[in-house]
Amino acid sequence: MTLIETSTGPIDYDERGSGPAIVLLPSGGHVRSDYDELRDLLAPELRTIAIDWPAHGQSPPGTGAVTAMRLADVAEEVVQALAPGGAIVLGNSVGGFAAARMAIRRPDLVSALVIVDGGGFSARPPQERVFCGLMARPAFLRAIYPTFARAYMRARTDADERALRCAVATTRRGPGLSEVSELWGSFRAPEHDLRAGAGAITAPTLVIWGRRDPVIRLSAGRRIARSIPGAQLAVLDRGHVPYTSDPEAFAGHLLPFVRAALARAGAA
């Protein structure tokens, strides 16, 4: 276990490989091991840094309320400490929100941005606000999460099944259940809406989306790509966590984008 201190308490992370840094931010309920297969494909070229959110995986519970905005603060602190010269920042779901918010608030820390089935770029219609409110109730979340996770994972691979088991385990008891439910409640907050800042993102941006994601639909991914200047969109025939379902196809989109972004930065 390797811990880094943040404003919400210690966060567990690990590093692999060498070269330019890429920081990997998981979805809520998920853990850094979801990225293992992808990291194996990136290791020859990149220094990968993956974290566990508070009360997820190896990280202890944090202090204070767990909101999407608080996790975004934590992500900024981690990048500031481990890659102060800037990093490629890749995030899935709430991790995508955190990565995009960082690119808006701290462009000096984000040399390239990768949003994977990310939140924070659409209005919450009434039915979604109701669902987020229900998920903010620990008893409801605990009861529904196994079925919900199976639906959004669209599991096909051993890595999918491992990610699914870990996500369900996180939400079964204690701090993980409490913190994931708090996180869902925060999705209704006005601060979770990044649309006004999307046009200010200057980092090269790749949006990768699972076509079969039932949580945040592909139409949201298309809107995100249109709202960020110069953003590219790649679509995989997978669910909400496409890098566990098809890491090779995912890396096939990611690595050319990263190489091009680094080449442009080197030529600047």
pLDDT band at 31 (very low <50, low <70, confident <90, very high): very high
CATH homologous superfamily for the domain 3-267 = Alpha/Beta hydrolase fold, catalytic domain (3.40.50.1820)
* Whether the Cβ atoms of residue 138 and residue 178 lie closer than 8 Å to each other: yes
Stretch (H or E) spanning 234: strand 232-236
State the chain's mean pLDDT as an integer.
96
With b for 16 or more beta-carbon neighbours within 10 A and e for fewer, the 68-84 pattern comes to: bbbbbbbbbbbbeebbe
Q: Which two tokens stand for residue 86?
A: 């800037």
Q: Which two tokens stand for residue 234?
A: 């790649």
Q: H helices of the chain, where?
A: 36-42, 68-82, 94-105, 126-135, 138-153, 158-170, 174-186, 218-227, 242-245, 247-267
* Whether the Cβ atoms of residue 13 and residue 51 lie closer than 8 Å to each other: yes
pLDDT band at 1 (very low <50, low <70, confident <90, very high): confident
Tell how far CA 237 is from the center of its chain.
19
Q: Which two tokens stand for residue 200?
A: 């200010």
Residue found by looking up tokens 């979340």 in the block: 141
- Domain residue limits, the chain: 3-267
As a whole number, mean pLDDT of residues 211-236 equals: 97
* Whether the Cβ atoms of residue 148 and residue 171 lie closer than 8 Å to each other: no
Question: Is 70 exceeded by the pLDDT of residue 268?
Answer: no
What percentage of residues in the chain have a pLDDT greater than 90?
94
As a whole number, mean pLDDT of residues 108-123 equals: 96
Task: Tell me, yes or no, if the pTM score tops 0.95.
Answer: yes
Cα gap 50→196, rounded to integer Å: 29
The strand pairing partners of 22, in sequence order, are 48, 88
Q: What is the pLDDT of residues 161-183, one digit of tens each?
A: 999 999 999 999 889 999 999 99
Question: Is 70 exceeded by the pLDDT of residue 265?
Answer: yes
Residue by residue, DSSP assigns 137-174 as: SHHHHHHHHHHHHHHHH---SHHHHHHHHHHHHHTSSH
